[in-house]
Every structure is written in structure tokens, then in C-alpha cells.
A and B are shown apart, each in its own frame.
Chain A
Amino acid sequence: MNLIETPNQLVRQFALEIPCELSAIRDACQRSRVALAGDGLAEDELGHWELMLAEAGNNAVRYAPAGQRHRTVRFEFSVGEEWVEARVVDHTAGFDLPETVELPPPDSENGRGLYLIKALSDESVYFRGRGENHLVLKKRRLTPGTGPAAGTEMLRRKFAEAETTLDLMTEELASAYESLATIFRFSAELADQPKPEEFARKWLGEVGKIAAADWFVLRLTDEGRALKLVACSPELGFPATLLPEPPGQTGGSVEMRAANFRMDVWFDATHPVADNDPLFKLAWQGGGFSHPIVINERMLGVLTMGRYRADEVFQAGQVSIIQTFADFLGIQIRNTQFQQQQLQIRLTARELEIAAEIQRSLLPKQLPEIPGFKLVGHYLSAHQVGGDFYDAFVTQQGGWLLAIADVMGKGVPAAMFAAIFRSQLRAGAERAATPGALLTWLNRSLHDDLDQVEMFITAQLVYLNSDRRSFQMASAGHPPLLLAAGDGRVQAVEDSGLPLGIMPDTIYTERTVALPPGANLLLFTDGLTEARGREGKLLWIGPLEKCLAQAAKSGSPVEATKSALIALVAAHQEGVSPGDDQTFLLLAENRPHSRIT
């Protein structure tokens, strides 16, 4: 049945069936484009269709579970004079296609596929079914097409579809009353039964009687995807665990096939269970079916019901009762799991707080005393756990190492990499004579781990030699540092290199800069320059330079300069919460004539 019944004389229908592989999707999109071009679609329309099909097809491949990858992805087209409709058939767990899709933030690398589908199609609906799902896309043609008159054939097809639907509805209605009555009774009972498993054991026997089944077996999945026996007819004895079959392998037990393919698997004299199937002793000469219990895309378990005689098949109404009860049971189990998850979320929130504590503990509790200078740091996390980090310590060469870094991403993974970076920084500082050599070593050491999760770290290292009044600086994709002199002049010192984790063999170099009298040195992360006000305007580097120049010229104490910088950023944000961590290290030369403010 077409998505929307509109006057649309059908020109032709065609379909492509393709392996569940990304390269096959690309090929199918191009073949579809050629086919639609043959139907007279304009170039712009062809581009839109190709893109929509690519996004839908990529999703069909990317989210197909391992056990379903042997099944094909299907593109079906109905080309009419006014409309084109495409149906992409996938075998994923399915998803809920929202009415509207929000555009992700501009710098997000993902999340635009569905937006494109919604934006380029005139109508889109996603139908989830057992075993397969249909994404139906419809788009009005820019110029009406023409083709062979197929009206009679279309009417015949629609009539046949309607007749089948009516048959199914009649059968469904017959069983609906009984199903509902049963569920109401179960619901009343459930209120006194806190554990769904106990509830299931008690009532499956009852459902078996209603559906005239001789036996039942209920297994629920555990974390390892094994199906664990929860309930069965009282006289049966089964192994408690049926291990999952290897991904992609067909065959196996009927229960595992139902679980892997997420569809009912029937067995009878024509399709007997294998002699090594755990159900063989029950089902070897009878019939029945295994029904997967799937709620909100989650595979919860499999209910199997059967009869000892193969010639006594379940009627549609009985099947409906069993399926309905199984799904109802699934909802109860899911609700219980949801309550447990809520508890877990609260526990996770607590864990995040602990992780945030760890993150704060990575920052030095006390910065080193540098003769003739004063060093202060500032860290403001945008989330519970951030990816910014700074450190300062004495090097083996007798100088001082100042380090600042920003791990791409936020949350626990970013904090974990910040922790790893800290330990590697301190380990590497003992062997590297220059900041460039240290960055080169850090990159080699961290590259594989960062690359695996497609993350990177920007970092800046400064080796300070206070005796010689100079410093060496090396940078891995980090913003420049600011150096202000006592006369108020400011320079942005940069030495660009790729962020850590991008290329394994990057060699980092350093540059040496003299410290002018009354020097103020500011190392910062881009959370400062990219702080946004209410209308989204960025702070940029200019106001920081001005603030630092003023502080250096007036000889402000370092704590006062720190407060001024924090106030500057806060004023720009106009009360808007920071979108990124804000971190800086500020070094200021002590001056005998410093004003106390």
C-alpha cells in the first residue's frame, strides 16, 4: 500500500536488492539515479533522491545487527506522474522516526542523515515490523511524468491488498476480546507480583490453556545475549543456558533464530526442529512457534509454545493471544528494567561526580614557586567532567615546565584521556630535553589510543628558564599563548603543529622567546576565546590581549589579573553557561613597584 493515496497515475515500479554492505549502497544509489533519470526526473531531483537513498541505505547497513547482515537491503520504487515513492527495507532493530529532526550543532560530526532525509523528502514514515522495517519516502516531482497507462493494474493490486487487510482484521478482532480480557486479569494480578519472572511462571500456564498449547518455554536474555531459561511447563527439564550462535550464522536452534532474526520461527512436520535443538524432545513430531519479545528495540527474550501433534496447528486467534501476551509480558519486564536503569542513572550520576573529583585532583593543588615570578591557574568545567588540563613542575634540567591541554570531547572519556595525558607528561618530561621532543614523544605514546576512538588532544608546553629570562614553547594544534611586556606591548606566540593523536610520526619543534621586563605570560584553552554571549558572539583573542597588556603595564598582582580575566569572560557571556571548559595558566614577573589592589 502506498504511503499516501493521492491522485498519482503509476508510471512504473521497480526494485533493487543489494547486499548489506556500504559499497553496495553507493552502487545502488547510482543505479537508482540512472533509473529515475529514465523516468524523466530533473537533475536536482535526482541529486536529492541519491542523497536520501544514500543516507537511508547507510543506516540500513550500519545498524544491521551481525545476525542480520546476510539479509539484503531492498530499495523499492513506485514512480508516478506526480510523485515518486521509495521504500527502503532494512533488517535493523528499527528506530522511532521523529516528526521533526533537529539540526545538530554546527561542529558535530554526526546526526545529519535523518535531517537530510526529512528536509529533502515531502513525506517520510518509518514502519517497524517483525523481521523487517520500511522507511517510506515520498517526493513530489518537479515536472509531471508520463508513462504507460497502468491504472487498471494498480486498481487490481490495491483491491487485492484491501481484501487481505480485511481478512487479517476480521481474524484480529475475533481474538482481540479474549486477549484484552486476559491482559486485564493479568494486570490486576501483576499489581501484587513485584517480579515479572514470577508473574510469567504463574500465568504462562494459563495462556497455554487459552491458546490450547501443550507446552511452553520462556527464556530471557542476559547481558551476554545468552537465552536463560525462566519458565517452562512444569514437567520439562532443559539446560539453563542456550549459548548464542556466532554472528551471521544461520541455522541453530529455533529459539536463537527467533532472537537473532527478531521474527516468529515456526516448526512443524515440514520444518522440523533439528535433533540437537534443546526443544527436540518436545517438538520432534509436533508443531509450534518461537516468538521474540522485543520492546523498544531491545531483545528481551523468546517465548515458545507448542503442541505435541503436528496436525493440530495453532489458529490465527490463538497465535495472536500468545503474541499479545508475550509482548505484554515484555512491557512488564521492560518497565522493571527501566526502574532498575533509573536507579543505575542515579548511581552513574554519582560516579560522574566522583570522576569530576578525580578530574579536579589531576590539577596541581599547589603550583610551584618560581623565583622572581608568580604562577596561578584557573579551571572552569563546562560539564560535570571536562577535558581541559594544566600542570606545572620543575624539570630535571632545572627549568620549569608549564603545560596546558584540551582533550577533544567532554565527559568521562575526555577526563580519562586528560588523566592519561598527565601521567605521560610527567613520565616523558624526565627524558625529553625540549618541549618539542616531549610533544613528539607524547604523540607517539598516545596516538594509537586516541586514533581508535577518533579523539585528539591540543596541547602547549613551555620550558621556562627564569635565570636566562627566556622560554621555549611548542604547540600541538593549540591556540597561541600571549606574552605581555611591562611597557604594555603584547604578542601572540605560536608554533603550530598537528594536535596529538592525528598522525603518529609528527615531529614537533619549539621556538625560543626572550622574556621582556615585567612579563605576563598567558596559556589558555579555546574555551576562553570561544566564550559566547547571548547572541552567540565569540569573545576572540583581542579582549584577552587588552586585559593582559593593561595588567602588565600597571604591574597588577597576578591574582588581580586572574580575577580580571575571569570577570572579562563572565561579562562577555552575559550569564550564558559556558559551552566549553575554560582554563588558563598565568605567569607574571614580580615587580617591586607592583600595586596592591
Chain B
Amino acid sequence: MRTEKNGAVLLITDFLMLTSDNSRAFKDYAFGALGPEHKIVEVDLAAVRTVDSNGLGALIFLHKALSPSGGRVRLLNPPPAIAEMFQLLQLDKIFEIVQR
């Protein structure tokens, strides 16, 4: 897992799954890197092969922690199967999903 910081944007990238195995570690890693200047957290899902309901829980926790102060979570390049799951669960309503 790796982060890149660019102004108000924090990018989390380089991980292969977001599941019960690593959802807690993901949360700790994300909040460890998050600074007061970050308004948008981008999560790069391009290389991610599996996201389960625990992984979704971690993303939603991040969204809930950021949203009161106007921050938001943006999901980048989810593979088709994962994008389909976000649609199925209607999570595309709370996450901005972007293909670049």
C-alpha cells in the first residue's frame, strides 16, 4: 500500500484486495496518512481484484469520517466486476467513481 499527496488530494494506491484480511489495516493506513489539508481521498482500485463487505465497510467508515468537514472519497478505476458491485449495492450514490 502506498500514498501520494497532491495538495488537497490524498491518493491511496498499490494494493490488491480490500477484504476482511486487511480492512482494519487499510483504515489505520489511510488515517495515518491523512492530513488536515486533504479534502479528497482517492482510492485507486485499478489493481484490486477483490473487495468484500468488510472492505466496503472500511471505505464507508472513511467516507463518514471525512464528510462532516466537507471531505469526500473518490474511487479510481475500479475493474468492471467491482464497479458492478458498487452499483448493485447503490454505493455509487455516496462515492464518486471515476475512470481515468
Listed in ascending order, the chain A residues whose CB lies under 8 Å from chain B are 22-23, 25-26, 29, 43-44, 47-48, 50-51, 54-55, 58, 103, 106-113, 115-116, 119, 406, 408, 454, 456, 458, 475, 477-480, 494-499, 502-503, 509, 526
Interchain CB contact under 8 A, A106 and B61? no
Q: Mark B27-71, 1 if CB is under 8 A from A, else 0.
A: 000011010110100000000001011101110110111111111
Interfacial chain A residues near B34, Cβ < 8 Å? 498
Q: What are 27 A-B contacts defined by CB distance under 8 Å?
A: A23-B21, A26-B17, A26-B20, A54-B19, A58-B52, A103-B90, A106-B90, A106-B93, A107-B60, A108-B60, A112-B56, A113-B52, A116-B85, A456-B65, A477-B69, A478-B68, A479-B68, A479-B70, A496-B37, A496-B71, A497-B36, A498-B36, A498-B65, A499-B65, A499-B68, A526-B67, A526-B68
Given the known inter-chain contacts A58-B52, A106-B93, please indicate yes or no for A26 contacting B21, CB distance below 8 A: yes
Q: Is B94 an interface residue when CB atoms closer than 8 A count as contact?
A: yes
Interfacial chain B residues near A22, Cβ < 8 Å? 20-21
Interchain CB contact under 8 A, B88 and A44? no
Interfacial chain B residues near A495, Cβ < 8 Å? 36
Interchain CB contact under 8 A, A458 and B52? no
Interchain CB contact under 8 A, A113 and B90? no
Return the contact of A54 from the options B52, B63, B70 (Cβ within 8 A). B52
- Distance between Cα atoms of A18 and B19 in the complex (Å): 18
- Distance between Cα atoms of A222 and B34 in the complex (Å): 48
Interchain CB contact under 8 A, B52 and A51? yes
With both beta carbons as reference points, the residue of chain A lying nearest to B92 in the complex is identified as: A106
Interfacial chain B residues near A50, Cβ < 8 Å? 50
Q: Is B98 an interface residue when CB atoms closer than 8 A count as contact?
A: no
Return the contact of A110 from the options B31, B53, B91 (Cβ within 8 A). B53
Known: A106-B91, A458-B68, A479-B69. 4 other contacts (CB 8 A): A54-B20, A106-B93, A494-B69, A498-B31
Q: Is B25 an interface residue when CB atoms closer than 8 A count as contact?
A: no
Interfacial chain A residues near B88, Cβ < 8 Å? 116, 119
The 9 closest A-B pairs by CB, nearest first: A109-B57, A47-B81, A113-B53, A112-B53, A458-B68, A106-B94, A496-B36, A54-B52, A477-B69
* Shortest CB distance B21–A (Å): 5
With both beta carbons as reference points, the residue of chain B lying nearest to A451 in the complex is identified as: B28
* Shortest CB distance B56–A (Å): 6
Listed in ascending order, the chain B residues whose CB lies under 8 Å from chain A are 17, 19-21, 31-32, 34, 36-37, 39, 50, 52-54, 56-58, 60-61, 63-71, 81, 85, 88-91, 93-94
Interchain CB contact under 8 A, A408 and B64? yes
- Distance between Cα atoms of A115 and B68 in the complex (Å): 28
- Distance between Cα atoms of A247 and B69 in the complex (Å): 45
Interfacial chain B residues near A54, Cβ < 8 Å? 19-20, 50, 52
With both beta carbons as reference points, the residue of chain B lying nearest to A458 in the complex is identified as: B68
Interfacial chain B residues near A107, Cβ < 8 Å? 60, 63-64, 94
- Distance between Cα atoms of A54 and B67 in the complex (Å): 29
- Distance between Cα atoms of A26 and B32 in the complex (Å): 26
Given the known inter-chain contacts A112-B89, A502-B31, please indicate yes or no for A478 contacting B69, CB distance below 8 A: yes
Interchain CB contact under 8 A, A503 and B69? no
Interfacial chain A residues near B57, Cβ < 8 Å? 109-110
Return the contact of A494 from the options B21, B70, B93 (Cβ within 8 A). B70
With both beta carbons as reference points, the residue of chain A lying nearest to B52 in the complex is identified as: A54
With both beta carbons as reference points, the residue of chain B lying nearest to A59 in the complex is identified as: B53
Interfacial chain A residues near B37, Cβ < 8 Å? 496
Interfacial chain B residues near A44, Cβ < 8 Å? 81
Given the known inter-chain contacts A497-B36, A498-B31, please indicate yes or no for A51 contacting B69, CB distance below 8 A: no
- Distance between Cα atoms of A27 and B75 in the complex (Å): 26
* Shortest CB distance B6–A (Å): 17
Interchain CB contact under 8 A, B89 and A458? no
Interfacial chain B residues near A55, Cβ < 8 Å? 52-53
Interfacial chain B residues near A456, Cβ < 8 Å? 65
Residue of A22, A51, A109, A458 with most chain B CB atoms under a 10 A cut-off: A109
Interfacial chain B residues near A111, Cβ < 8 Å? 53
Interchain CB contact under 8 A, B50 and A406? no
Interfacial chain B residues near A406, Cβ < 8 Å? 68
Given the known inter-chain contacts A51-B85, A107-B63, A503-B32, please indicate yes or no for A477 contacting B68, CB distance below 8 A: yes
Interchain CB contact under 8 A, B89 and A116? yes
With both beta carbons as reference points, the residue of chain A lying nearest to B34 in the complex is identified as: A498
Interfacial chain A residues near B69, Cβ < 8 Å? 458, 475, 477-480, 494, 496
Interfacial chain A residues near B63, Cβ < 8 Å? 107
Interfacial chain B residues near A478, Cβ < 8 Å? 68-69
- Distance between Cα atoms of A331 and B54 in the complex (Å): 35
With both beta carbons as reference points, the residue of chain A lying nearest to B57 in the complex is identified as: A109
Interfacial chain A residues near B85, Cβ < 8 Å? 51, 116
- Distance between Cα atoms of A509 and B35 in the complex (Å): 12
With both beta carbons as reference points, the residue of chain B lying nearest to A58 in the complex is identified as: B20
* Shortest CB distance A268–B (Å): 42
- Distance between Cα atoms of A147 and B89 in the complex (Å): 35
- Distance between Cα atoms of A503 and B62 in the complex (Å): 13
- Distance between Cα atoms of A119 and B68 in the complex (Å): 32
Return the contact of A109 from the options B21, B60, B66, B68 (Cβ within 8 A). B60
Given the known inter-chain contacts A103-B90, A106-B90, please indicate yes or no for A116 contacting B53, CB distance below 8 A: yes
- Distance between Cα atoms of A111 and B54 in the complex (Å): 10
Return the contact of B54 from the options A43, A58, A497 (Cβ within 8 A). A58
- Distance between Cα atoms of A499 and B52 in the complex (Å): 26
With both beta carbons as reference points, the residue of chain A lying nearest to B91 in the complex is identified as: A106
- Distance between Cα atoms of A435 and B94 in the complex (Å): 32
- Distance between Cα atoms of A108 and B63 in the complex (Å): 11
Interchain CB contact under 8 A, B61 and A109? yes
- Distance between Cα atoms of A460 and B93 in the complex (Å): 28
With both beta carbons as reference points, the residue of chain A lying nearest to B51 in the complex is identified as: A51
* Shortest CB distance B14–A (Å): 19
Interfacial chain A residues near B60, Cβ < 8 Å? 106-109
